[in-house]
Structure 1
Amino acid sequence: MRDVAITHQPVELYKILKFEGMVRSGGEAKMFIAEGKVLVNGEIETRKRKKIVAGDSIQLFDECIRICLDE
């Protein structure tokens, strides 16, 4: 699991997937989320604009990240 620091919260789920290079584009991120391929805190998440905060974990296929606050 890789830690990812954010400077403000919350951040929308699809944006984190895109900015962290887990997907090639925002459109691809939204597609994977809609298909139920993204887990947030171990649960399938289908809301593209799910608000992500420090402490959340995100998994797409075999890549997993943990969100932390960069203060």
Structure 2
Amino acid sequence: MLDFTLEGEFIHMIQLLKAANIAQSGGEAQMLVAQGEIKYNGEVDFRKRLKVKSGDTVECRGQIIKVK
């Protein structure tokens, strides 16, 4: 599990995937979301501009990101 600490109120899903080194580029991150490879708080989510906030959990490629 990876703990990710927010510097503001939220981070967009695409930015989070890049910041957590799950995706190497914005294009790769968008592809992961579009293909349904992202679980947001336990459910598959297809929103690229989703605002991830403190307390949320994101799963992708076997990695779990806990946002603080």
* Structure 2: distance between partners of 1:52 and 1:66: 10
Task: Report 1:50-65 matches (<5 A).
Answer: 50-65=50-65
Gaps of 5+ in 2: none
Identity value in percent: 32
Query: How large is the Cα RMSD of the aligned pairs?
Result: 0.7
In the alignment, structure 1 segments of 5+ residues that lack a partner are none
- Residue matched to 1:3: 3
Q: What TM-score do you get using the length of structure 1 for normalisation? A: 0.91
| Distance in 2 of aligned mates of 1:2 and 1:28 | 20
The alpha-carbon deviation at position 55 of structure 1 amounts to: 0.3
Aligned residue number for residue 27 of structure 1: 27
Query: How high is the TM-score relative to the length of structure 2?
Result: 0.95
In the comparison of the two structures, how many residue pairs are matched? 68
Q: Which runs of 4+ in 1 moved over 3 A?
A: none
